[in-house]
């Protein structure tokens, strides 16, 4: 189970950003050796073709070639006769594994897969059972929370684009060119801010600051999540308007949030990456302002 969660976290939650930054393929049967992240549509990997990780949110997949990574289908059927080096996950759909198929990791499905004799599965084959406590009341409650978070993120994102459109462009540039430092600074801020707030509470003078910082953490993390949605959407739609790009990025993250476990992981990684991108962009702006400042007269 740890391996499955780790794979999904890397390949979907954070991978949704990394894949797109590397150049996603939003086409059917693309011959490029790139990751494929598809919102809706059919993915066909013909025999002889090779791609990296494949993530499909809504639509079937037919794999006769090779996937060098994980293959995840959220809502759709899978026909696999080729080779997948990582895990194969089918949340809601039928999985047909022919005798020529090879899976280097685990095969995880919700329904019983059709595995032909002769198919090679190096990992384990297991099913994801629906949770018994998923009553109509809990489902409606979770949907209400999901909707509230989505609307809040939508309003916060539009305010960010309205108040600082140039700042939004700067964060996208920082995410595209300084991905590694952005991730590092993001982790430092995500864990460093609550630690600083707790340390401030220890001192008498710093109690107001510590309380204010603790109360502001939810907003700060939300800003990071919104920035990640903007960066993701802008990378997907590079020539579209800012509002449309943000809507697409937020839609991708909120669809992932509907999947149990992945929702929390996606929010965490989105907040981390967005905070790091914001810091890197702010530092760049400060350095450029210092370089462009006129020299003082002698």
- For residue 15, give every residue at least 6 positions away whose Cβ sits within 8 Å of its Cβ, in sequence order, or none: 35, 53, 55
Structure token digits, residue 134: 């998923």
Phi, psi torsion values for 284, nearest 5 degrees: -60, -45
Answer yes or no: are the C-beta atoms of 52 and 59 closer than 8 Å. Answer: no
User: For residue range 216-256, what is the model confidence (pLDDT) as tens digits?
Assistant: 999 999 999 999 999 999 998 888 899 999 999 999 999 98
User: For residue range 229-238, what is the model confidence (pLDDT) as tens digits?
Assistant: 999 999 988 8
pLDDT at 6 (0 to 100): 41
Phi, psi torsion values for 57, nearest 5 degrees: -85, -40
pLDDT at 145 (0 to 100): 86
User: For residue range 144-171, what is the model confidence (pLDDT) as tens digits?
Assistant: 888 999 999 999 999 999 998 899 999 9
Answer yes or no: are the C-beta atoms of 90 and 109 closer than 8 Å. Answer: yes
């Amino acid at each position: 189970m740890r391996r499955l969660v780790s794979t999904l976290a890397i390949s979907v939650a954070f991978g949704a950003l990394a894949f797109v930054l590397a150049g996603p393929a939003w086409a059917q049967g693309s011959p490029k050796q790139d990751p494929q992240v598809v919102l809706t549509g059919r993915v066909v990997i013909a025999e002889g073709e090779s791609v990296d990780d494949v993530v499909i949110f809504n639509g079937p997949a037919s794999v006769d070639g090779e996937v060098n990574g994980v293959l995840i289908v959220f809502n759709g059927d899978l026909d696999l006769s080729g080779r997948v080096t990582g895990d194969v996950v089918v949340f809601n759909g039928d999985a047909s594994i022919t005798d020529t198929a090879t899976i280097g990791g685990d095969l995880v499905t919700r329904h019983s897969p059709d595995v032909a004799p002769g198919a090679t599965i190096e990992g384990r084959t297991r099913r994801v059972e629906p949770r018994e406590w998923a009553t109509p009341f809990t489902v409606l409650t979770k949907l209400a929370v999901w909707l509230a978070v989505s609307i809040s993120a939508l309003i916060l994102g539009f305010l960010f684009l309205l108040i600082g459109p140039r700042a939004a462009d700067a964060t996208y540039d920082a995410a595209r060119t300084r991905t590694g430092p952005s991730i590092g600074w993001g982790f430092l801020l995500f864990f460093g801010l609550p630690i600083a707030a707790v340390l401030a509470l220890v001192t008498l003078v710093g109690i107001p600051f510590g309380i204010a910082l603790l109360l502001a953490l939810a907003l700060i993390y939300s800003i990071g999540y919104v920035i990640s949605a903007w960066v993701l959407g802008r990378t997907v739609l590079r020539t579209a308007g800012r509002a449309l790009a943000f809507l697409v990025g937020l839609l991708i993250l909120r669809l992932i949030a509907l999947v149990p476990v992945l929702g929390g992981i996606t929010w965490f990684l989105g907040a981390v990456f967005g905070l790091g991108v914001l810091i890197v962009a702010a530092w760049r702006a400060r350095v450029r302002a210092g370089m462009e400042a006129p020299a003082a007269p002698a």
